[in-house]
Structure 1
């Protein structure tokens, strides 16, 4: 295998383990809530906590790579992910679970900040669109696998710690693969993407708008994946009460609620090759509006093309502006939304007692994306005219 593609496979597998661990707590949420007597706001906090360190570490992350080396920092991140997963699995109370989740999140942020730069180093100027599409979408593949695999394990009678333990195993396997199969690129330790690089006032505004879109979408997507399990479990129980002799195995099975969001996450990963289309941003902004209705209604079409389209809207629409957004500041802003929205969704479910409340909230969040995208285009065109 060509060295570039071998490096991409290794980095994609590491990013896949990142997606798997991000979803690991939500995939065992019903068992976790029962065992530790948690509120849904507590569950939302655990979901958002994984990305919270990015608010602090996203900006200096590039400098860490420059100082210690990209590969070394990413390996450290994978080690933290493995250790945090083990600590979370051993938790007998909420505070220990928070500590394990936070430790994993620190490691995950180190991967998130540096691995895109590492992949770009290998493919700069050659097949960059295809390579980055495959790399970026390994994250939703990891999410989908967590939903399906952990759903099968818990459906077979496994307790909730299986989620953190399997995610720690995935991170450890990615660490071993990186250590054995990845060769440092000549640009390792390069400061090209360091947060120390200059950024103009115009770029700050454009990148902030892009980060807000990215954060809102990922926050809404995290809410759907984190709270859909309890929503569909309630529907299954209601169906069983009305039709006790029909589809009894589906109504009582723990796996069934994980198939729909799991397939949605896997389906989202097919959308990145569409980034080649120059009109993608406008179409996806419209698709995001459709996606709000589908999320709120719980319509099965949300698992299909519309769900994939508004995934791309937030990721690819905004960064098409020039000059190219600064990666560290983009993640800094995006992580604020990703960390803060799931706890708010859980609080709404606790307050209302309605398991659909987080999904309605996610739909409302998505309504802001087309407005932010219009603001991005307006500001970009305005500043270009002035220059």
Structure 2
């Protein structure tokens, strides 16, 4: 196996632990709410809290990779995810649970920023959309695994045990990266001395990296809203907890397949704009009509379409960042991502508390998804005007 494909396989498998841990809170929400007496808005805050550290740490995370080496910082991030999962599992209050969630989130920030940069190093200029589609699939795969396992585990063993399993998963990922990942020549410290300009980034690169990150932030914030509030809608429609989880898990696995399909289509035929438009329109309108339509066909359609734009969006930074500005640029990309990803789920939870219906939360998510289209158009417009941003 070529080195770049082995690197992709290792990083993709390890990053699955992040999706698994992120989804753990929504998966154990019913017993958690019953035990701690918290509101849906507070659950939404905990969901978004996983990515809150990225608002301030994404850019420093990229710089840490340049200072200490990408692989070392990723391993440290996985160690923090292990520690956060342990703390959250033992929590007996909302502040203690939030503390564990923040610890895990700090580790996830380091993982996210540097792994994306590492994949870009291996694949920039060749097969980048396909590689990013494969890599990004790790997050929904982890979410799907959590949906299939953690809800039932929380009901039988308690939500603390379910959260401890996320620490075990992160520990396995740590060992995988430490033992199986081989460094790229552009890894952290070597790149800092070998590349010109010391990682300096132009204003044009910075602006487009932030805009691409904002697109990805809205995408992922909408994803979090979808996975958190669709099960609540289904349970209100008299689905059991198990059947609601299974249906959302099916949608998740379909989205995994659609991410891969989008990467293959973009690699072979191009059509990146068409992939983004078709995926966002189907997903956004699907969320808007879901409370009024039979849920099964709508959710299956959403699953089949929502992943098509993923590789396209994740490849945007590689189109504008030079190798020497890549670590800084990916830090900016993820800073913008985390602003959106943290801020959107609490708003959706607040809308549910205000209206008493998850339909309002899902309508909010649908509008957000459709907003990706003008943001992408703005990116393409400014991309054609170097030096004018």
The verdict on a shared fold, with TM-score over 0.5 as the criterion, is: yes
Residue number in structure 1 paired with 2:383? 380
Deviations 1:251-284 (A, max 9, x none): 44x3211122222222222223333243222442
* Change in CA separation of 1:121 and 1:207 when aligned onto 2, cut-off 3 Å: closer
Q: Distance in 2 between matches of 1:362 and 1:198?
A: 36
CA contact (8 A) 2:279 2:308 kept: no
CA contact (8 A) 1:41 1:350 kept: yes
Q: Distance in 1 between matches of 2:195 and 2:374?
A: 29
Question: 2:157 is paired with a residue of what secondary structure?
Answer: coil
Q: Aligned-pair distance for 1:125?
A: 5.9
* Change in CA separation of 1:204 and 1:127 when aligned onto 2, cut-off 3 Å: closer
Q: What pairs with 1:104-253 in structure 2 (closer than 5 Å)? A: 104-123=104-123, 127-154=127-154, 157-189=156-188, 190-191=191-192, 197-236=199-238, 251-252=239-240
Q: Distance in 1 between matches of 2:311 and 2:2?
A: 28
The count of aligned residue pairs is 370
Q: Distance in 2 between matches of 1:39 and 1:83?
A: 26
Given candidates 296, 300, 306, the residue that maps to 1:300 is 296
Structure 2: gaps (5+ residues): none
Given candidates 265, 271, 287, the residue that maps to 1:274 is 265
User: Larger deviation: 299-308 or 134-143?
Assistant: 299-308
Question: 1:356 is paired with a residue of what secondary structure?
Answer: helix
Q: Aligned-pair distance for 1:136?
A: 1.9
Residue number in structure 1 paired with 2:358? 355
* Change in CA separation of 1:204 and 1:4 when aligned onto 2, cut-off 3 Å: closer
Q: Distance in 2 between matches of 1:318 and 1:186?
A: 22
Q: Distance in 1 between matches of 2:21 and 2:375?
A: 30
* Change in CA separation of 1:196 and 1:235 when aligned onto 2, cut-off 3 Å: farther
* Change in CA separation of 1:120 and 1:280 when aligned onto 2, cut-off 3 Å: closer
Q: Aligned-pair distance for 1:320?
A: 4.3
CA contact (8 A) 1:59 1:332 kept: yes
TM-score by length of 2: 0.86
Q: Distance in 2 between matches of 1:384 and 1:223?
A: 35
Residue number in structure 1 paired with 2:243? 256
* Change in CA separation of 1:169 and 1:136 when aligned onto 2, cut-off 3 Å: same
Cα RMSD of the aligned pairs, angstroms, is 2.7
CA contact (8 A) 1:61 1:195 kept: no
Structure 1: gaps (5+ residues): 237-250
User: Larger deviation: 58-67 or 331-340?
Assistant: 58-67
Residue number in structure 2 paired with 1:323? 320
Alignment pair present for 1:64 and 2:64: yes
Residue number in structure 1 paired with 2:41? 41
Q: Distance in 2 between matches of 1:141 and 1:95?
A: 29
Given candidates 231, 247, 252, the residue that maps to 1:265 is 252
* Change in CA separation of 1:377 and 1:15 when aligned onto 2, cut-off 3 Å: same
Q: Aligned-pair distance for 1:122?
A: 4.1
Q: Aligned-pair distance for 1:4?
A: 4.0
The structure richer in helix per residue is 2
* Change in CA separation of 1:201 and 1:29 when aligned onto 2, cut-off 3 Å: same
Q: Distance in 2 between matches of 1:194 and 1:36?
A: 53
Q: Aligned-pair distance for 1:296?
A: 2.4
Q: Which runs of 4+ in 1 moved over 6 A?
A: 192-196
Q: Aligned-pair distance for 1:151?
A: 3.0
CA contact (8 A) 2:121 2:184 kept: yes
Q: Aligned-pair distance for 1:216?
A: 0.9
Q: Distance in 2 between matches of 1:24 and 1:146?
A: 6
Q: Distance in 2 between matches of 1:114 and 1:386?
A: 29
Deviations 1:283-319 (A, max 9, x none): 4224412322211222434444544534443651485
* Change in CA separation of 1:132 and 1:369 when aligned onto 2, cut-off 3 Å: closer
Deviations 1:9-32 (A, max 9, x none): 221121000111111111111111
* Change in CA separation of 1:163 and 1:358 when aligned onto 2, cut-off 3 Å: farther
Question: 2:199 is paired with a residue of what secondary structure?
Answer: coil
